[in-house]
Amino acid sequence: MSFVTALALTVAALLAVPVAAHLLRRWRAEEREFPAASLVAPHPPVAHQRRRLEDRALLAVRALAVITLAVLGATPLVRCSRITLARSAGASLAVVLVVDDSLSMRARLPDGRSRFEAAREAASDLVRDGRPGDAFALVLAGSPARLALAPTTDLAAARAALGDLAPSDRATDLAGALGLARSALAELPHADRRVVLLSDLGDTPPPPGEPQPWVVLPDLATPAPNCGVAFAEQRGARIVAEVACTTAGAARGRALVADAPAGAAPPAASLAERAGVQQLELAVREAAAVRLDGADSLAYDDRAEVAPEGTLPVIGVVADPSRAAVSTGGATVVERALQALERPVSVRPLPVVPEDDAELARLSALVLDDPPALAPAPRGALVRFVERGGVALALLGPGVGTAQLGSSFEPFLVGTARYEPTTAAGAVPDAWLGVDGATLSRLNPRGRVELRGAEPPGAVALARWTDGAPFALRRVLGRGAVLAVGLPASVDESDLALRPAFVALFSDLLDRVERIRGAGRLTAGGSLIAPDGAEVRGPLGPVVATAATDEDGRPVRLAVAAVRGRYELTRGDVVEARQVTLDPGEIASEPGHVEEAARAVSAAAEARPLDVSREVVLALLALVGAEIVLRALRLRRRDGGRRAADPEREAAR
Amino acid sequence: MASGESAALRGRLDWGRLGSLSLRVAAVTEGLLVGAHRSVRRGAGVEFGGHRQYVPGDDLRWLDRRALMRHERLLVREFETDTETSVRLVLDASASMRWASEGAPGRKLDYAALVLAAVGRVALATGDPVALEVVAGRDAAPVPPSVGQGQFERLVAALERVVPDGSVTEGALAEALSRIARGARRGAVVVLASDLLDWPSGALEAFVGLGAGRRRLVAVQVLDPAEAQFPWSGPQRLRSSEGDLLVETDGDAVRGRYQAALLALQRRWSDALLARGGRLVRTGTTEDPLVPVREVLRAVEARG
C-alpha cells in the first residue's frame, strides 16, 4: 500500500467525524423552559435513541463538505483521465485535429465504443480544454483527406464541427491529412503548434515532418483481425465477390455465404487462409447479399449487398480480328489492352457499329479499330450516343480507303481521309497521356491517316507528328466526346500497340468515360459525377452535389460517396445507378505502429494533473453556505419559541 | 401605565358581554356599606329580621311595643339590611406566569390578569368594593378596596404594570393573605388567578385558611396548552421557570405520568377548596376569558 493510498483511506475515515459529532450531540437534547417541570418525571434517553440522528440534512451537508475537502486536498494527486492540452509556457496553442474517419475506424474497442467514437470524444476533450486564443482546425483522414474546419479561434465552431462528424467507408489517407494539417498550421502565428492524430494508423506510416504528430490514443492502433467483403456483383449465374483480410488468422475457417431462401442450403465458398485480397465466386443465380460467417473485430464489412449486373462500364470494341488480332490468335489488341488495365470495366466485342440507339445506350464507350467510313444509319446512332454522354475512339488505318457511297467519318473527321505512307517518325503529345505519352516519340509507322485538313469544328489536337500533322484529335459533342487517332492498333501497320502510350490511350479513354458518365462502380470516398441538374440519392438519403465543370468546360454536379451502397443520379426521367464499394486495401490494412516520439508526446501530455480545484472550492463554499442557512433556520425556529415564551426578556436583550 | 397598554388589556375581552353578569354572593356578607348582598348586619331594612333584647343606646324607634305588652320585655325589632361584598383579587405574578409555548396565544399572566379584571369589573358594576393583591413579580403594588369606575382604572393599571418575576415565597404569600384576612370580612370573595405551579409547600393551606371567615374562595388555574397536553416527543431537557430544576426525560414515555401528576395537583386544590366552600376553576390561555369569568361568578353564587 502506497503512502498516498494510506493517506486517502485516512481522509476517507474523516467521513465518520460529522456522523460521530451528530451522534454525540444526540446525548444532550436541546434544553427548553417548562414551568411544570417539577411535575415531569425524569427519564434518561435509552441507547437506541442516542444513536438516532437528529438532523439528517445538516449531517449530509457536513459529510459532503468533508468529501469535498478531501477531493480538494487530493487535487494535486489526481491525474487527468481525459485528454488535455499541456501548455509548456501557458501561451495559446494552434492545434490541428486529424480525425481518421476511414472504414477501419468503425472497429470496436474493448470498451464497446468504436475507434471513431473514441477519437471524436478525445477531440472533443481537447477542444473543451481550449482557451481563448487557441486556434483549432479539423482535418479528416479518410481518403481523400479533407480540411473540415479551417483554423479558427472560435471554439464553439470547433465543437460544432466535431459534432457533425460521422464515420465513413473511405480508405485512409494519413499522408494527405498530415500534409493538410501542416499546411494549415503554417499560416498561423502561434508559436506552439500541434498536430493531433486520432487514427488507427491503418495506412502507411505517417510521413516525417514537423510538427511531429501527437498520437493521442495509441490504443486505437491495437491490431484487430478483420475480414470484409469489398464488393459483390452478380455476373450471369454466379456472384463474384472480393474479400480482404488483415491476417491469415482472420481468414482461417471462414467462408463467404450467399443469402438463400429459407430452408435451402446457402451456397458458400471458403476463404483462402492468407492475408490480403482474394476473389471468390458463388454459383448463385440470384441473391440479395453475401456475408462472411464467423466474427471479427468489424462486423460492418462482413456483409455486402450484391450489385446487379451491369454496373460496370461497358466498352464496345469493333475490330476485325483478322487484322487487329495478334498472330497467335485470341482477343484483339484493343481488347487485350483494355484487359491489361485491370480496371472495373466490361469489354464487349461488336461486329459492327450498332445502328440501334438502345443497343448503343448499353455502352459507355465505343472503340473502332481501323473502321471503314460509317454509313448514315450507324453514323447517326453514333452521334446521338456521343451526345448523350458516350465516348467514341476511332483508331483509323487503311480501312479509311474503303469508304462507300454516302458514308463518312463523321463525327470523327470531316471530308475524306486517306491512308498514306509516311516518313514522319514519332509524335509529340501536348501533355496527353502523361509520362507514357512520351513513348509516342519513338513511333515508326509504315503509314498514317492524314488528319490535317480533316479536323472537325471544335476539334483539338492532342498530339502531333513531328511534321506538324495531327496525330490525335478530340472533339466534344454534347455530353460526350470523340477521339480520332491516325494509326490503327494492328501491329502490321505500326508499332503503336507496342508502346506504353497505347495502353495509356485506353486508360485515358476510361478516365474520360468516368469523368463524363461516372464510374459505374467506385470505392467509398470517390466522387460521383452527375449530369448538370441531377439529384443524387445515396443509401443514407439525399447527397449534397456541388456544381462544377469538367475539363471540357461542361457543367456537371459532383457528389461524394462517403459510404458504400447504391447511389441514384436522377435527372428528369433518367435514372443512373452507381455502386459504391469498400476499398479492399482499407479492409486488409492493419493498424500501424505508433512512433516512439509520438508516444512520448502523448505520455507527457496525459500525465499532467487535472486542475479542478476551482470547481471544488466553489462546491465547498456552496456547502458552507448551505450549512449556515440550515443553522440559521434552526436558530430562528428556536428563537421563535423563546420569544413566544418570554417576550419581555427578549425585548430587554 | 400608558393608556395604550390599558387599552390593550381591555381590547382582549368583549366587555359588553359582561353587562349581563353580576356578582351575587350566596353567603351572608358582613359589609359596612349598603349594597346588593344580604348582610349579617341588621339595620334600616324593609324585611323583618326578628327581635332582640333592648340595650341602652338602641334607637327607640325600633322598640316593639306590642311585644312589651305581650311579654313584658323590652325587645327591639330588627330588619335585614343589604350590604356590599368585598372582592379580593389575587394575582400570581411569578416567573412561570410569563411563559408561553410556541403557538400559544399569549402569556398566562396576561390571561389571568384579564380574567381578574373582568371579575373586578362585574363586582364594581354590582357596587362591591374590589381590591387587588399581587404575589411575586416586579412593580406589583396592592390596590386597596374601593368602588367605582376609578377603581376599575386603578385595577387595570396595576395589572398591566406587573412584570412577572421570581417565585411565590411563603413570606410574600403570607403577607398578601394576611392583608386580605384583615380587610376582608365575612362573606368576602377571594379570587386567586395562578398556574398553581411551583408554589411553596403550605401555600394551599394558607390560602384555604382564608375561608375560615366564611369567605368565598375561588382559585382560577391558568395553564398554557403545552402544560395541559405535554406535546413533546423524544428526549427533552426541561428547565423549570422558577428555581434550578432541570429534568432530562423522554416526552413520549412520561406524558401519561405528567398528566396524572397535573391532575393530582388540581384534585388536591379542588378538594381543599371544596372543603371550605370554595371552587377550583381550570382554564387555559386558548379559552375565551368569559368562560372562566362565568365559572368564577357561578362558584361565588353556589352555596357551599
Co-location of A424 and A504 in the same domain: yes
A29 contacts B237? CB cut-off 8 A: yes
Q: Where, residue-wise, is CATH 3.40.50.410 in chain B?
A: 3-27+84-301
Domain end position, chosen among A498, A517, A536? A517
Q: Searching chain B, which residue's CA lies closest to the CA of residue A43?
A: B249
C-alpha cell at A596: 516512439
Would you list the DSSP string of A404-430?
PTT-B-TTT-SS---EEE-----EEES
For A497, the domain range is 314-517
Co-location of A444 and A472 in the same domain: yes
pLDDT in tens, B14-34: 666 665 555 555 444 444 444
C-alpha cell at B119: 371579575
Tell me what pLDDT residue A604 has.
44
List the CATH code of the domain at B3-27+84-301.
3.40.50.410
B262 contacts A641? CB cut-off 8 A: no
Q: Which has more confidence, B128 or A386?
A: A386
Q: Searching chain A, which residue's CA lies closest to the CA of residue B105?
A: A644
φ, ψ at B165 (rounded to 5°): -170, 155
Dist. CA A352–CA A340, nearest whole Å: 23
Q: Under 8 Å CB-to-CB from A245, ≥6 apart: which residues?
A: A225, A226, A227, A228, A251, A271, A274, A275, A276, A278, A587, A588
Co-location of A60 and A115 in the same domain: no
Query: Which residues in B have their CB inside 8 Å of a CB on A?
Result: 95-96, 98-104, 107, 163-164, 195, 197-198, 224, 226-227, 230, 232, 234-242, 245-250, 253-254, 257-258, 261-262, 265
Tell me what pLDDT residue A24 has.
66
Q: Which residues of A touch B107 (CB under 8 A)?
A: 647
Is A280 a member of any domain?
no
Report whether pLDDT(B249) > 50: yes
φ, ψ at A410 (rounded to 5°): -60, 140
Dist. CA A582–CA A359, nearest whole Å: 31
Best A39, A55, A643 residue to mutate vs chain B (most B CBs within 10 Å): A39
B236 contacts A35? CB cut-off 8 A: no
Is A270 a member of any domain?
no
Tell me, what CATH number does A481's domain have? 3.40.50.880
Pairing, β B75-83 against β B34-53:
antiparallel
d(CA A109, nearest CA chain B) in Å: 59
Q: Searching chain A, which residue's CA lies closest to the CA of residue B96?
A: A35
Nearest to B241 among A35, A39, A42 (CB): A35
Best B249, B252, B259 residue to mutate vs chain A (most A CBs within 10 Å): B249
Q: Which residues of A touch B163 (CB under 8 A)?
A: 648
Report whether pLDDT(B97) > 60: yes
Angle between helices A115-128 and A155-163 in degrees, nearest 10: 170
B245 contacts A38? CB cut-off 8 A: yes
Q: Which residues of A touch B250 (CB under 8 A)?
A: 43, 45-46, 49
> Residue length, chain A?
653
Best B250, B257, B267, B286 residue to mutate vs chain A (most A CBs within 10 Å): B250
Co-location of A512 and A525 in the same domain: no
pLDDT in tens, A256-315: 998 877 667 778 888 899 888 898 888 888 888 899 998 888 888 998 888 876 667 888
d(CA A51, nearest CA chain B) in Å: 12
N-terminal to C-terminal alpha carbon distance within chain B: 39
C-alpha cell at B37: 348582598
d(CA B260, nearest CA chain A) in Å: 9
Does the reported pTM lie above 0.80? no
d(CA B151, nearest CA chain A) in Å: 27
- How much is the average pLDDT of A447-451? 87
When the pLDDT of each residue in chain B is averaged and rounded to a whole number, the result is 81
For chain A, the domain total comes to 4
- How much is the average pLDDT of A379-390? 89
pLDDT in tens, A168-192: 999 888 888 888 999 988 888 888 8
- How much is the average pLDDT of A441-457? 85
Report whether pLDDT(B104) > 70: yes
Dist. CA A100–CA A95, nearest whole Å: 16
Assess contact for B37 and B24: CB atoms under 8 A.
yes
Co-location of A363 and A319 in the same domain: yes
Report whether pLDDT(A82) > 50: yes
Report whether pLDDT(A326) > 70: no
A44 contacts B248? CB cut-off 8 A: yes
Assess contact for B166 and B203: CB atoms under 8 A.
no
A640 contacts B102? CB cut-off 8 A: yes
Q: Searching chain B, which residue's CA lies closest to the CA of residue A37?
A: B240
Nearest to A43 among B226, B245, B250 (CB): B250
Q: Which has more confidence, A274 or A84?
A: A274
Q: Which residues of B touch A33 (CB under 8 A)?
A: 99, 238-241
d(CA B166, nearest CA chain A) in Å: 12
Tell me what pLDDT residue A81 has.
55
Co-location of A318 and A351 in the same domain: yes
Co-location of A368 and A431 in the same domain: yes
Is A169 a member of any domain?
yes
Amino acid identity for residue A133 in this structure: G
d(CA B76, nearest CA chain A) in Å: 59
Report whether pLDDT(A329) > 50: yes
The confidence band for A48, taking pLDDT boundaries of 50, 70 and 90, is very low
Is A492 a member of any domain?
yes
Count other C-beta atoms under 10 Å from residue A380's C-beta: 14
C-alpha cell at A594: 505508433
Is A282 a member of any domain?
no
A40 contacts B238? CB cut-off 8 A: yes
Assess contact for A360 and A366: CB atoms under 8 A.
yes
> Which residue is it, cell 460492418?
A300
pLDDT in tens, A69-80: 887 777 666 655
Tell me what pLDDT residue B26 has.
47
Co-location of A489 and A342 in the same domain: yes
B98 contacts A648? CB cut-off 8 A: yes
Is A426 a member of any domain?
yes
Report whether pLDDT(A495) > 80: yes
Nearest to A41 among B104, B224, B257 (CB): B257
Co-location of A71 and A103 in the same domain: no
Q: What strands, in cross-sheet order, belong to the sheet with A268-270?
A: A268-270, A255-258, A289-292, A303-307, A227-235, A238-245, A276-282
User: A-B interface: how many C-beta pairs under 8 angstroms?
Assistant: 112
- How much is the average pLDDT of A1-26? 70
Best B247, B266, B268, B269 residue to mutate vs chain A (most A CBs within 10 Å): B247
Domain end position, chosen among A487, A517, A547? A517
Would you list the DSSP string of A504-559?
HHHHHHHHHHHHHH--SEEETTPEEEEETT-EEEETTEEE-EEEEE-TTS-EEEEE
d(CA A636, nearest CA chain B) in Å: 12
Report whether pLDDT(B263) > 60: yes
- Peptide linkage before A211 cis (omega within 30 of 0): yes
B198 contacts A38? CB cut-off 8 A: yes
Would you list the DSSP string of A462-508?
EEEETTS-EEEEEEEETTEEEEEESS-S-TTT-SGGGSHHHHHHHHH
Co-location of A534 and A386 in the same domain: no
Dist. CA B247–CA A144, nearest whole Å: 88
Q: What strands, in cross-sheet order, belong to the sheet with A146-152?
A: A146-152, A135-140, A93-99, A192-198, A213-215
B234 contacts A646? CB cut-off 8 A: no
Nearest to B237 among A32, A640, A641 (CB): A32
d(CA A56, nearest CA chain B) in Å: 16
Tell me what pLDDT residue B11 has.
61
Dist. CA B153–CA B131, nearest whole Å: 12
Q: Which residues of B touch A44 (CB under 8 A)?
A: 248-249
Amino acid identity for residue A617 in this structure: V
d(CA B179, nearest CA chain A) in Å: 28
Q: What angle do CA A197, A203, A207 make, to 5 degrees?
A: 65
Co-location of A502 and A459 in the same domain: yes
Would you list the DSSP string of A24-84?
HHTTSPPEEE-GGGGGSPP-PPPHHHHHS-S-HHHHHHHHHHHHHHHHHHHGGGPBPSS--
Best B5, B201, B237, B242 residue to mutate vs chain A (most A CBs within 10 Å): B237
Co-location of A493 and A348 in the same domain: yes
Q: Which has more confidence, A573 or B110?
A: B110
B195 contacts A645? CB cut-off 8 A: no
Is A199 a member of any domain?
yes
> Which residue is it, cell 397536553?
B229
Q: Which residues of A touch B225 (CB under 8 A)?
A: none
Dist. CA B195–CA B220, nearest whole Å: 8
- How much is the average pLDDT of A22-49? 73
